[in-house]
Amino acid sequence: MNMRKIIVEDNPSFEQEVYEFGENHPKLMITAGIHGDEVAGISIAYELIEFLNSTKLKNGSIKIMPKCNPVATRGFSRTSFYDEVDMNRIFPGNEIDGATHKAAKNIWDEACDMDIIIDLHCANQYSIPYILSIYDKFPKALSVINHLPLDNLVQSAGLRGQFFVESNYLREQIAFIIEIPSGSSKGAINTHLAKKCFEALKNLLIALDFIEGKTVNNPPTYYGEIFEIKTPASGLFKPIKSSGDMVYEGEILGEIGDFKLIAETDLKVHSIIPDSFVYKGDFIYSYILKK
């Protein structure tokens, strides 16, 4: 293993860690912590580093940047206090607009010759875990994603400025996100789901012949984009369905007082809030539809 630290000069300066295993193609890059509060991804990245330290690479090379936005991570916040810029909206980054833009450019430069990029993020704590990819426009990614036993593949709208989106458009790399539900408080991790993601990545490394081992063949189900639903009524919301549930047209998802929230189509619950007092217009649940 080779470990480097890239210094981002500022006041104070900070460092981004780069861990490298092997040198040849195919080249796989794993990034985490572009959003500093999404710590499950960071913990999975460090677990992979530990795992690769004691595992022989058969083919190719793997580069891991576990803490892409380290100042933000130190404060368990989405953005860094230097500038409060959302790093995942400014790729490919630049040298002139300040610390977060420079840190983004470093990640972009490190990724220049990568074949596959997997960017680890966290969704809200009530979400299901899912893979996010622009697979309608860049279906090449499916040849990699199908080796991830992670249940759900969701279509991304491809909002520009995101690391994986720009890697698809500007460099034609295979690039996508894995979203793991966050823990229930700052710095908290859903260990069960983080473990599931780690095992899925290990399965991918075996299937793509980076390492030796036995694979499982359990590709994710393909879904369209996420639909977010806001409550049409105010009051105490009581969910009846849970995240990950299949709900059929006409079934009740939850209640707000006498108001019954009914599914208008067959759907899978992507995320649903717990018993909560809500006001008209607040987010209550999101769903996905099979492609």
For residues 58 and 89, which CB has a smaller minimum distance to Zn ion in the complex? 89
The tokens of 232 are what? 């049409």
The values of phi and psi at residue 101, to 5°, are -65, -40
Distance set, CA 19 to CA 4, 6, 55, 135, 202 (Å): 7, 11, 14, 28, 17
| CB of 286 vs Zn ion, minimal distance in Å | 16
Q: Are β-strands 227-230 and 252-256 bridged in parallel, bridged antiparallel, or unpaired?
A: unpaired
Nearest approach, Cβ of 31 to Zn ion (angstroms)?
11
Enumerate residues 6+ apart whose C-beta is below 8 A from 241: 247, 251, 252, 253, 254, 269, 272
Site for Zn ion in 225-284 (CB under 5 A): none
Q: How far apart are CB 190 and Zn ion at their closest, in Å? A: 15
The Cα 64–Cα 35 span in angstroms is 16
Closest contact distance (angstroms) between CB of 37 and Zn ion is 8
What's the rounded Cα separation, in Å, for the pair 167 and 114?
9
In angstroms, give the least distance from the CB of 19 to Zn ion.
Answer: 21
Report in angstroms the alpha-carbon separations of 168 from 61, 90, 141, 175: 20, 15, 9, 6
The residue range among 117-125, 127-135, 156-164, 223-231 that interacts with Zn ion, by the rule CB under 5 A, is: 117-125
Total residues contacting Zn ion (rule CB under 5 A)? 3
**Shortest distance, CB of residue 120 to Zn ion, whole angstroms?**
9
- Residue 63 within binding range of Zn ion, rule CB under 5 A: no
Chosen residue from 27, 33, 35, 118 binding Zn ion by CB under 5 A: 35
**Choice between 38 and 151, CB closer to Zn ion:** 38
Q: By CB under 5 A, which span of 29-37, 68-76, 231-239, 244-252 interacts with Zn ion?
A: 29-37
The SS3 call for residue 167 is helix
Binding segment toward Zn ion, per CB under 5 A, in 35-43, 143-151, 228-236, 254-262? 35-43
**Which pairing describes strands 130-133 and 152-155: parallel, antiparallel, or unpaired?**
parallel
Given the complex with Zn ion, which of 92 and 181 has the nearer CB atom? 181
Angle, CA of 276, 72 and 28, to the nearest 5° = 100
The sheet carrying 14-21 orders its strands as 2-8, 14-21, 61-65, 27-32, 116-123, 174-181, 130-133, 152-155, 221-223
Span from 115-123, 135-143, 255-263, 270-278 in contact with Zn ion (CB under 5 A) = 115-123
CB of 283 to Zn ion, least distance (A): 17
Q: Note whether 121 binds Zn ion by CB under 5 A.
A: yes
Q: Of 62 and 177, which CB lies nearer to Zn ion in the complex structure?
A: 177
Segment contacting Zn ion by CB under 5 A, of 34-42, 51-59, 146-154, 195-203: 34-42
67 contacts Zn ion (rule: CB under 5 A):
no
Give the closest residue to 258 by CA, choosing from 285, 287, 234: 234
Minimum distance of Zn ion from residue 68's CB (angstroms): 10
Residues that bind Zn ion (CB under 5 A): 35, 38, 121
